[in-house]
Amino acid sequence: MPRVTFIEHDETIHEISADNDATLMEAALDNLVPGIDADCGGQCACATCHIFINDEWATKIPAREETEETMLELAEGVTEFSRLACQIRVNDTLDGLTVQLPEAQH
């Protein structure tokens, strides 16, 4: 099971083991990591699973598709590192991934 570290906005760290093939959103919710609301349950329709993934990892993850791009357009505090956690599936190549959480979901 790949290990993923979620860092909250106040720097609280949550290290979890994610199920292979779960999305990062599911992994966070299943492991009670706070800070991801996931109001649409993973259908890329709410943007309340907004996270940041830094450069070093970004290349190992498939790029944003159009719907994700569109939803992020309207999210708060978006940067080039922004992603929607429900659109990223965990696998072994992501073992050791670090994910940053925003101040709040909107």
Nearest by Cα to 69 from 44, 88, 35: 44
Which residue number, 29 or 99, has a Cβ lying nearer to another protein? 29
Q: Which among 11, 20, 8, 13 is positioned nearest to 94, based on CA atoms?
A: 20
Sheet of strand 3-7, all strands in order from the earlier edge strand to the far edge: 13-17, 3-7, 97-100, 50-52, 82-84
Binding map of ligand FES across residues 76-105, x = CB under 6 A, - = no contact: --------x-x-------------------
Q: Work out whether 63 is an interface residue with another protein (CB under 8 A).
A: no
Say how far apart CA 89 and CA 106 lie, in whole Å.
23
Pairing of β 3-7 and β 97-100: parallel
**Residue 54 beta carbon to another protein: minimum distance, rounded to whole angstroms:** 22
Among 12, 17, 20, 70, binds another protein (CB under 8 A): 70
Is 1 near another protein (CB under 8 A)? no
Q: Which of 5, 31, 44, 64 binds ligand FES (CB under 6 A)?
A: 44
Report if residue 61 touches ligand FES, rule: CB under 6 A. Answer: no
